[in-house]
Amino acid sequence: MTAPRLSLILGGARSGKSRFALGRAEASGLTAVYVATAQAYDDEMRERIRLHQAERQGMATVEAPIDLAGAITAEGRPGRLLLVDCLTLWLSNVMLAGRDVGTDCDGIAAALAGCACPVVAVSNEVGLGIVPDNALARRFRDAQGRLNQQIAALADEVVFVAAGLPLYLKPYAR
């Protein structure tokens, strides 16, 4: 299978997007490197991370909770495929660290555009629900929507996953 240069896999919580992305990485025939953005702040998140680790046994993992652009640049080498999971957790880490969201999002876009290997990036679609009742959550929702649009514009393929089923929003033309 020829892997697209950049695939963006979108979906809601527990939609199957990470499992779908992992399947794409495994089917590529390339050496997959998992670029993890999660931080284990509590027991629930530690358990979620443990479950994700169990799904990707044997896959090299790089932790990039903030410097995702740096990790993509450093790890993106020919013969590999980077699986970035996920842009949503990365964005929340950036916002909570008080960083410049626009600058960091532009940095991610540039790193993805210049990556020397295929990338499968996972992100949540957070704009389908009710309007959040607090300013931080609204800023996050808006920033996530802008980031998803920015990466989708660069991507060769965009897939929305719901109930484990893929809907191809931007099919990869081989």
Task: Identify whether 43 is part of a domain.
Answer: yes
Q: Which CATH number is 76's domain given?
A: 3.40.50.300
Residues tagged active-site = 52
pLDDT of 39 reads 79
Number of domains in the chain: 1
**pLDDT value at residue 1:** 57
CA separation (Å) from 89 to 30, 85, 156, 167?
A: 25, 8, 23, 23
For 83, the domain range is 6-170
34 belongs to a structural domain:
yes
Indicate whether 42 pLDDT > 70.
yes
10 lies in some domain: yes
Arithmetic mean of pLDDT, 30-36: 96
- Mean pLDDT, residues 149-159: 98
**70 belongs to a structural domain:** yes
Note whether residue 1 is domain-resident. Answer: no
Say yes or no to pLDDT of 55 above 60. Answer: yes
What's the rounded Cα separation, in Å, for the pair 144 and 41? 21
Q: 47 near 81, Cβ under 8 Å?
A: no
Residue 20 lies in a domain: yes
pLDDT of residue 51: 74
In a domain, 13, yes or no: yes
pLDDT value, residue 3: 86
Q: What is the pLDDT of residue 129?
A: 86
Structure tokens at 94: 């950036």
**Stretch 139-149: mean pLDDT, rounded?**
97
Mean residue pLDDT of the chain comes to 93
**In this predicted model, what pLDDT tens digit does every residue of 69-110 receive, in sequence order?**
999 999 999 999 999 999 999 999 999 999 999 999 999 999
44 φ/ψ angles, rounded to the nearest 5 degrees: -60, -45
In a domain, 159, yes or no: yes
